[in-house]
């Protein structure tokens, strides 16, 4: 490992720690049939539902892989496919009852981790970190609404 880590790795390490904490909290809350890959797909579902192609793009997986993961989520009642009200031929994937309950556990865990980070960094540095990351998102996020320039 080099003496100085690159910024990408420095961003990845805390993200991975948060992701691990979320999965551990889900397991502890009884959602022990979820995998990290399934949780990543669930986290990308829009409130009103998402098309499978959107999920695949955002998760950076093939449409077939996204479909496989959604099939698993449906089987365990975390997600459901519904008709797309804007296109009768298309379907949306949205959270189902168990998925909504799991999402509440995940959101509470994310809030707890962010509070711990804010306590460690201090409120001002946490705000500055968030602001800097939101600016970087403008040029790096191709799947969640950013331009992806850069």
In the prediction, which pLDDT does 150 show? 43
**56-89 per-position pLDDT tens digit:** 998 889 999 999 999 999 999 999 999 999 888 8
**3-state SS assignment for residue 27:** helix
Beta strands in the chain (DSSP E): 79-84, 87-95
Where do the domains of the chain lie, and which CATH numbers do they carry? Answer: 7-140 (1.10.10.10)
**18-63 per-position pLDDT tens digit:** 999 999 999 999 999 999 999 999 999 998 999 999 999 988 899 9
CA distance 37 to 69: 7
CA distance 82 to 70: 12
Q: How many CB atoms lie within 10 A of CB 123?
A: 9
Position 144 confidence tier, pLDDT thresholds 50, 70, 90: low
Would you mind telling me the total number of residues written for the chain in this entry? 150
Instruction: For residue 95, list its beta bridge partners.
Output: 79
């Amino acid at each position: 490992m080099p003496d100085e880590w690159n910024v990408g790795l420095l961003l990845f390490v805390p993200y991975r720690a948060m992701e691990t904490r979320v999965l551990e909290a889900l397991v502890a809350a009884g959602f022990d049939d979820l995998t990290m890959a399934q949780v990543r797909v669930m986290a990308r579902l829009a409130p009103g539902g998402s098309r499978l192609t959107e999920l695949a793009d955002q998760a950076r997986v093939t449409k077939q892989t996204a479909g496989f993961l959604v099939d698993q989520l449906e089987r365990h009642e975390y997600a459901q496919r519904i008709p797309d009200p804007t296109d009768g031929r298309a379907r949306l994937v949205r959270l189902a009852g168990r998925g909504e309950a799991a999402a509440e556990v995940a959101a509470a865990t994310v809030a707890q981790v962010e509070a711990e980070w804010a306590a460690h960094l201090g409120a001002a540095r946490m705000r500055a970190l968030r602001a800097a990351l939101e600016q970087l998102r403008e040029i790096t996020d191709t799947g969640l609404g950013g331009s992806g320039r850069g």
